[in-house]
Chains A and B, each alone.
Chain A
Amino acid sequence: MNQSIPLAELMPGENGVIARLKVDEALYQRLTAMGLRVGRPICVIRRAAMSGPIQVRVGLTDLILRRADALNICISPA
């Protein structure tokens, strides 16, 4: 049961550990700079209506990102 799932599929309140960032160089840099690094625990706070963005918490930082982009962030169970 050690498979990773996309961040976009986590429900509010669920958490996990960032396993992989399948994104291009530019976004990779941006995400790591904002604290989304491989190995860090992450928690989904809420998802906006109408398939809008999701809000996540990494450490003490809250971020919002689109579900389309969250599909490329792989989470392994905490």
Chain B
Amino acid sequence: MKRLALLGMPNTGKSTFFNRLTGAGARVGNWPGVTVDLLGAKILLGGHMVEVVDLPGLYDLHGFSEDELVVRHFLENNPVDLVAIILNASQIEHQIAIALQFKLLGIPAILLLNMSDEAEKLGIRIDIRRMSESLGMPVMALSAKYGKGFAEARQAITGMLEISEQRPGLEDLKDKLAQDDLVEQQMQTIVSHSVQFPRQLPESFTARMDRLLLHPWLGLPIFFGVMFLLFQGIFLLGSPLQDAVEWLLGLISQHALEPLMSTSPGWLHGLLVDGIYNGVGTVASFVPIIVLFFLFMAVIEDTGYLSRAAFLMDALMSKLGLDGRSFVMLLMGFGCNVPALMGTRVMRSRPLRLLTMMVIPFSLCSARLQVFIFITAALFSAEHAPLVLFSLYLMSFATAILTALLFKRKLASQEPFVLELPPYRLPTLMQLWLRGWQEVRHFLHRASKFIIIGVVLVWALTHLPPGVAEASPQSYAATLGNLFSPILTPLGIDTQMTIALLFGFVAKEIVIGALAVIYGMEGDALTHQISISMDWVQAYSFMLFTLIYTPCLSTIATLRTESHSNLYAWGTVAWSLGLAWVVSFVFYQCARALGY
């Protein structure tokens, strides 16, 4: 099998090209450092099976950060046939250095000048033939996003792979890069011979937008305003969709499932309908909101507003021992904590990375959001529910800030903060579709793994030993719940909710699935049942605990693998468990003392 590696500086469109070439769904975003790990896909190119590898971006081969190390290790340990160097044509002046470095290494390479659509608009003229001659490698103009030049690039790659021989991994890559001055000289010659820059640039759209969005005093209020509007938009569009899914699931249960199951024994009916169907169905009804949520995130990510958020927030973050990138990762954590944790690989200093990874789990991720939407809908009026959700987001920030303040001295760092500010862009519909589909797939994957097992276990706990009434004091669930009651009763959390919390440790989606199973209901009946089984003080205390105690097993596993330290991972978990307990305790006891 042949191997083609995609390589270049961060944010040059490697993953966009990868997706177009292989049909895969690699994550794309207008932020340097979206891809932080290897991603491979096998395709048939000109009669050969070819493994295409999408690499993280790298600034230079001397790289010191974790994501750059991934690239270096890959190049050192894996034979490749061809390297496609992808660069941003508008920044050819300095990005061409990578092409020259590879040429010195003697690896067969092709240079793709991506984003040629943007370069053209800026009035940059590149003499491709001339550049190719002086570089000594094929050069092609490309727009990976819109497809211009793609067929030609693909053909050229196919042709080169046809005659290529696999090169072994490059040992001691770093030592072979001693000729930097030479590269510097050649760069200038090549660029001055083959690139023509416009004499004067008109003020760009990006510059005009930035005058407003990065305004010294208006910038931050605008940022939070935009975030607020986005959330409003998600709920406005998402709620009717959620109702539609619930209605559909109800129909299926009523007209297909019930008649089909009417002759089966009671326990089987219970397990399949009350357990799996209701449990998974309740979780599934949140899929539209979650997909919308990620689509909105994708738009934000692709506009380039995240780098602006880093600019606006860096001053405040530096007081917490963090930097602008940490803030962006916190924002990404609103979607899912796991990629946000991985995203910290772009940070070079270990203390800064560890501190950022410590605060990310407090980011109110979309899975926790489902739990909160569900419970606030049951216990708070339509006017109050958004405020309650908003207060939980504030708590999410507050706990992150508190954690950073407490640990910033232990994890002090002096990492320089330098970041590219890319132009504003908009995702194409195709990109959005890919992203939405990825999220649905991700959900199906989790559903088939965690959620079904989770709800089946919960069902078993509430119905066993055989013969007990559902969730009665004799059931295993009650026994298990009672075990924790000395700890959780002072927080106002009852046995049923305790079971939900225990499973929520694995994944937050299971919490609502578990509640559906525990109460043996779904839809409106379930919300109603929950509203009478606890009051708002208990509900809020439960939500605070759910927010803070721990995101999910995947997050803990990621904390461990990314930090390479068990002590750090479990220490972080212990801290959040303790903090969750204290916050819920203080809230619950104070509210009760005040007579609520």
Q: Does A27 contact B (CB under 8 A)?
A: yes
Whether B417 lies near A53 (C-beta < 8 A) is yes
Whether A23 lies near B416 (C-beta < 8 A) is yes
Residues from chain A with a CB closer than 8 A to the CB of B419 are 63-65
Residues from chain B with a CB closer than 8 A to the CB of A60 are 90-91, 93, 122, 124, 197, 201
Q: Among the listed stretches B128-136, B278-286, B305-313, which one makes contact with chain A, having 4 or more residues with CB under 8 Å of it?
A: B305-313
Residues from chain B with a CB closer than 8 A to the CB of A63 are 418-421
Q: Does B318 contact A (CB under 8 A)?
A: yes
In the complex, A2→B166 CA distance in Å? 54
A14 CB to nearest B CB, Å: 17
Whether A33 lies near B311 (C-beta < 8 A) is no
In the complex, A33→B60 CA distance in Å? 6
> How many chain A residues have a CB neighbour from B under 8 Å?
31
Q: Does A52 contact B (CB under 8 A)?
A: yes
Please give 6 more A-B residue pairs, beta carbons under 8 A apart, in addition to A34-B59, A53-B324: A27-B416, A50-B316, A52-B315, A55-B210, A61-B420, A64-B419
Given contacts A27-B416, A63-B420, A64-B418, whether A49 and B62 have CB atoms under 8 Å apart is: no
In the complex, A62→B318 CA distance in Å? 21
Q: Does A6 contact B (CB under 8 A)?
A: no
Whether A64 lies near B97 (C-beta < 8 A) is no
A40 CB to nearest B CB, Å: 9
Residue in contact with B62 in the complex, picked from A29, A45, A50, A66, CB distance below 8 Å: A29
Whether B318 lies near A66 (C-beta < 8 A) is yes
Q: Does A20 contact B (CB under 8 A)?
A: no
In the complex, A76→B232 CA distance in Å? 50
Residue in contact with A52 in the complex, picked from B90, B184, B311, CB distance below 8 Å: B311
Whether B418 lies near A65 (C-beta < 8 A) is yes
> How many chain B residues have a CB neighbour from A under 8 Å?
39
CB-defined A-B contacts under 8 Å, sample of 12: A26-B62, A34-B420, A46-B210, A48-B219, A49-B216, A49-B217, A53-B314, A53-B417, A59-B197, A62-B421, A63-B421, A65-B419
Q: Does B348 contact A (CB under 8 A)?
A: yes
B413 CB to nearest A CB, Å: 13
Residues from chain B with a CB closer than 8 A to the CB of A9 are none
Closest to B307 in A: A64
Whether B94 lies near A64 (C-beta < 8 A) is no
A1 CB to nearest B CB, Å: 27
Closest to A51 in B: B315
Q: Does B64 contact A (CB under 8 A)?
A: yes
Q: Does B9 contact A (CB under 8 A)?
A: yes
Residue in contact with A59 in the complex, picked from B93, B314, B418, CB distance below 8 Å: B93
Residues from chain B with a CB closer than 8 A to the CB of A35 are 91, 93-94
Residues from chain A with a CB closer than 8 A to the CB of B401 are none
Given contacts A35-B93, A35-B94, whether A26 and B64 have CB atoms under 8 Å apart is: yes
Contact residues of A between 15 and 61, Cβ < 8 Å to B: 23, 26-27, 29-35, 37, 45-53, 55, 59-61
Q: Which among A45, A46, A60, A68 has the highest number of chain B CB atoms within 10 Å?
A: A60
Residues from chain B with a CB closer than 8 A to the CB of A30 are 59-60, 416, 418
Given contacts A52-B315, A55-B311, A63-B419, whether A29 and B60 have CB atoms under 8 Å apart is: yes
In the complex, A36→B403 CA distance in Å? 35
Q: Does B214 contact A (CB under 8 A)?
A: yes
A75 CB to nearest B CB, Å: 16
Residues from chain A with a CB closer than 8 A to the CB of B316 are 50
The digit string for B182-218, where 1 denotes a CB below 8 A from any CB of A, is: 0010000000000001000100000000100010110
B88 CB to nearest A CB, Å: 9
In the complex, A53→B316 CA distance in Å? 11
Whether B59 lies near A33 (C-beta < 8 A) is yes
Residues from chain A with a CB closer than 8 A to the CB of B422 are 62
In the complex, A61→B118 CA distance in Å? 13
Whether A64 lies near B315 (C-beta < 8 A) is no
In the complex, A27→B90 CA distance in Å? 23
Ordered nearest first, which 8 A-B pairs have the shortest CB separation? Answer: A52-B315, A35-B94, A33-B59, A50-B315, A62-B421, A49-B216, A69-B416, A33-B60
Residue in contact with B314 in the complex, picked from A26, A27, A29, A66, CB distance below 8 Å: A66
Residues from chain A with a CB closer than 8 A to the CB of B219 are 48-49
Given contacts A33-B60, A51-B315, A52-B311, whether A66 and B420 have CB atoms under 8 Å apart is: no
The digit string for B396-428, where 1 denotes a CB below 8 A from any CB of A, is: 000000000000000000001111111000000
Residues from chain A with a CB closer than 8 A to the CB of B201 are 60
Residues from chain A with a CB closer than 8 A to the CB of B63 are 29
Q: Which among B63, B307, B416 has the highest number of chain A CB atoms within 10 Å?
A: B416
Residues from chain B with a CB closer than 8 A to the CB of A68 are 416
Whether B417 lies near A69 (C-beta < 8 A) is yes
Residues from chain A with a CB closer than 8 A to the CB of B60 are 29-30, 32-33
Whether A34 lies near B310 (C-beta < 8 A) is no
Residues from chain B with a CB closer than 8 A to the CB of A23 are 416
Residues from chain A with a CB closer than 8 A to the CB of B124 are 60
The digit string for B290-331, where 1 denotes a CB below 8 A from any CB of A, is: 000000000000000001001110111010000110000000
B185 CB to nearest A CB, Å: 12
Closest to A37 in B: B94
Whether B217 lies near A48 (C-beta < 8 A) is no
Whether B418 lies near A48 (C-beta < 8 A) is no
Residues from chain B with a CB closer than 8 A to the CB of A31 are 418
A48 CB to nearest B CB, Å: 6
